Amino acid sequence: MTERKQALLLFSKPPIPGMVKTRLTQARGGFMTEEQAAEFFKLSLYDVSELAMHALIELQRDNDALVAEDPEADKIAYDFFLSTTPADNLSLMQETFDTIGPWPMDIHYMTDSGATFDDHFDDAIAQIFDQGYEHIVAISGDIPTLPKSHLKQAFQWLDYFHATGKPGFVVAPCQECGTSLIGLSHDTPLDNQGIYYNMDGIPALDGYMTKIQEKDIPVAYFSPVADIDETTDLAHAISCMKAIRKAAEFQSDLFIPRRVLTWCDLMGIQVSTPPNEEHDPRQYIDR
């Protein structure tokens, strides 16, 4: 039996007013105060973290059952990492999570460094791979509508690619040609340089695809997951979260981001859209 380790990496700033989700604030054209925007982000961070832990726990249970049935099967450990920056923020991030603990899984706190976000991303990934982890799936804390199935399938696809002898890459885009989820193996020949810190106007998703094409890396694609930066993003997310809450009555595998939904209800946030005055001339078809 071979023992293996795989990691979920969540990148996040601490939820400090004026430092997170500023495009939702009144100063940047939104409707929230800085304190409200930070509270929203904190609750989203909690929900996304719990969602990720549930996915990892389910993967762990499946692997434990497989090993119990077949002692020769590989034994996999799934771990949750939370990376922030700078190092001075580490204790604040720990306090943020300890406030509502305990959590379903241990949280491995870490800090990342670099001159650009690309550097920070590569640094965090390298730190985890240096600890002997085989795969990493990375997400952010502002995607409360992320399907749990995305995370589980991301690890499964990385396992599949690795078993074929050609380590791969997994990705779920966001709504603006960026990414909400990426995943890679320790020997996937890919880094993040020029992806997010890009002066040529190339979107992150296209940047990844260019590198993948050049190096012939197998890739798995998941449906887009919107992150929340602008007021319109929040409106979309609220409608989706309400739909998830109702659908979960029938789809037991759905994760409901209850903290964010409850806060939006308490805030009295209502989603609206301008009246649709467009007339589809279907009478010609009907006639």
Whether the pLDDT of residue 200 is over 90: the answer is: no
Does a structural domain hold residue 261?
A: no
Single pTM value for the model = 0.94
- Cα–Cα distance, 255 to 240 (Å, whole number): 12
Counting Cα atoms < 13 Å in the Cβ hemisphere of 30 gives: 21
Q: Quick check: 133 and 7 in contact, CB under 8 A?
A: yes
Tokens of 158: 């990385």
Q: Flag whether 27 is in a domain.
A: yes
Asked if the structure places residue 276 within a domain, the reply is no
For the chain, how many structural domains are there in total?
1
On whether the CB atoms of residues 43 and 263 are closer than 8 A, the answer is yes
**Using one digit for the tens of pLDDT, what is the confidence trace for 116-140?**
999 999 999 999 999 999 999 999 9
Q: pLDDT tens digit string along 83-115?
A: 999 999 999 999 999 999 899 999 999 999 999
Q: What is the DSSP letter of 10?
A: E
The boundaries of the domain holding residue 196 are 3-226
Instruction: Report if residue 47 sits inside a domain.
Output: yes
Angle at Cα 13 formed by Cα 236 and Cα 255, nearest 5°? 45
Does residue 195 lie within any of the structural domains?
A: yes
Cα–Cα dist 75/5, whole Å: 9
Structural domain contains residue 11: yes
**Percent of the chain's residues with pLDDT above 70:** 97
Query: Band of the pLDDT at 198, cuts 50, 70, 90?
Result: confident
- 146 lies in some domain: yes
The CATH code of the domain that includes 216 is 3.90.550.10
Q: Which tens digits make up the pLDDT trace of 242-266?
A: 999 999 999 999 999 999 999 999 9
Mean pLDDT of the chain: 95
Any domain includes 253 = no
Residue 197 has pLDDT above 90, yes or no: no
